[in-house]
Structure formats: structure tokens, C-alpha cells
Amino acid sequence: MYEAVLFDLDGTLLNIDMDYFLKHYFRKMLELAAEMGYEEGNRLVKQVWSSTEVMIADLNPKSTNEEVFTKDFYQNWAYHPEEIQGFFDRFYQECFPRLEGYCSPFPGIPEMVKYILKKGYKVVIATNAVFPMSALQDRIRWAGLGQNDFELITSYELMHYCKPHVQYYEEIVEKIGVDPRDCLMIGNDTGEDLPASKIGMKTFLVEDMLIDKGTSHQPDWRGRLPDLFKFVRKNL
């Protein structure tokens, strides 16, 4: 019935409250900024937020999300691009991995993903493409999934669109060479994950860490993680 299974990461495969996590994420960023002599750390954080919003809204197919983010950031930041790039490189290499304690793995997730991969399905980590690959690989490892061979991980270096734009899902199926009608999207965010249905994907809404800010989209299936595990065994 399916050729590919797409998983959201945060709150679906990984037990993480992103509001809580991001507080510590930006705290670490401020600490590094102070250590490296940036006197305007709070302004740096605000610019990261602002440039991320620009990146999410952008629909230019010729620019990766990374290119959109960095262009907007550099235009609004006084330091030389090479210098600030060094800051971000150091942050993701040294500081981001230390945030592991602010999330935890979900029991049963590694076994479920291993089962799906053994059945021969293409598995995509379809997380919103606003982070670099290194940060995604860290979070995948924190979920207990670090050694699996995924068809695609939607990092901001690779993707040209973000959720909830339908173009994000169109780009995924183009990259993996699968008809969207042969895909299952599994996620916990009604506003970001259920729009996959616009191009014909089936959707399963995971309710353990549900994010529901209101949407007209309805999932094909929904339930908590034990329900998902049963669904996978029965339908994949």
C-alpha cells in the first residue's frame, strides 16, 4: 500500500517539548556569545528568530533554507559573515550536543522504525527544515535512531521549503522518487504535519505530545504511540 513512511521528529519520534527545549537552546547560545565577546547576545537571539521566520515564509525554489536564513541574517548583523559563521559552527559542534538532557527517547520508537526499515519501506525524517544536519543527527541519536539508514533527513542545507507549505512535501516526494499517494506522514502537529494530505499523502496524528493550534485538515488515523505501534504492525 505504501512505499515511503515520513516521520516528524520532535514530539513524534523524540520526547521533547520544543518550547522548553528552545529556552535552553537560546540560553546556551547567549552563553557562547558572551564567551566569544559578543556584547549584543540578546540582539543575536532576536535576529536568529527573525531570520528563521523569513526562512519559513520563503518560497523561492532556487534558494535553500540555509541560504535564505544566512542572507537575511548577514544583512541584519554587523559582524563579518565568516566570523558569525564560526560562531554558529562552534555552537552546533560544542553546545548543541549538551542539550540532550532536555529531552528523552520514547520507548518502542527504535523498534518500530527498525521494523519499518526491515520491511523495505523508504523512511524519511520529515522534520521542519529549519536546523542544520548536525543538529538533526544529534536529535535522531537522542531518540535512539542514530544508526538507521534513512532515505532523507530534511535539513535546512538540503530543502528549499519549510512546513507547513505544501511545497515542502512536494520536494520530499521529488527527492525520494515516490508518488505522494504511496506515502504515509506521521506527526504530532496538526498545522505542520497534516498539510501533507493536500498532495495525497495519508496521515497519522500522534497525540502523546499533540500540538493543535487549529486546522481544517483531518488525519486519516490518530492515536497515542501504542495505537501507532499497532497500526504499523497491522498495515505495514
Among 100, 126, 157, the domain boundary falls at 100
User: How many distinct structural domains can be found in the chain?
Assistant: 2
Q: Are residues 116 and 77 in the same domain?
A: no
Q: Are residues 164 and 199 in the same domain?
A: yes
Q: Are residues 113 and 9 in the same domain?
A: yes
pLDDT tier for residue 160 given thresholds of 50, 70 and 90:
very high
* pLDDT at residue 216 tops 90: no
Q: Are residues 31 and 10 in the same domain?
A: no
Domain span at residue 52 reads: 19-100
90-130 pLDDT, tens digit per residue, is: 999 999 999 999 999 999 999 999 999 999 999 999 999 99
pLDDT, averaged across the chain:
96
Q: Are residues 80 and 150 in the same domain?
A: no
Q: Are residues 135 and 225 in the same domain?
A: yes
Read out DSSP for the chain? Answer: --SEEEE--BTTTEE--HHHHHHHHHHHHHHHHHHTT-S-HHHHHHHHHHHHHHHHH---TTS-HHHHHHHHHHHT--S-HHHHHHHHHHIIIIIGGGGGGG-EEPTTHHHHHHHHHHTT-EEEE---S-S-HHHHHHHHHHTT-TT---SEE--TTT-S--TT-HHHHHHHHHHHT--GGGEEEEESBTTTTGGGGGGT-EEEEE-TT-B-S--S---SEEE-HHHHHHHHHHH-
Among 46, 67, 100, the domain boundary falls at 100
191-211 pLDDT, tens digit per residue, is: 999 999 999 999 999 999 999
* pLDDT at residue 75 tops 90: yes
Q: Are residues 108 and 75 in the same domain?
A: no
Q: Are residues 9 and 73 in the same domain?
A: no
Supply the CATH number for residue 119's domain. 3.40.50.1000
Q: Are residues 11 and 82 in the same domain?
A: no
- pLDDT at position 177: 98
Gap between the Cα atoms of 48 and 141, Å rounded: 25
* pLDDT at residue 81 tops 90: no
Q: Are residues 184 and 148 in the same domain?
A: yes
Report the percent of the chain where pLDDT is more than 90. 90
Q: Are residues 122 and 201 in the same domain?
A: yes
Classify burial at 162, counting beta carbons within 10 Å of its beta carbon; exposed 0-12, middle 13-18, buried 19 or more. Answer: buried
4-35 pLDDT, tens digit per residue, is: 999 999 999 999 999 999 999 999 999 999 99
pLDDT tier for residue 67 given thresholds of 50, 70 and 90:
very high
Among 81, 100, 119, the domain boundary falls at 100
Q: Are residues 156 and 215 in the same domain?
A: yes
Q: Is the pTM of this model over 0.95?
A: yes
| ∠ CA 28-32-34, rounded to 5° | 115
Mean pLDDT of 125-144: 98
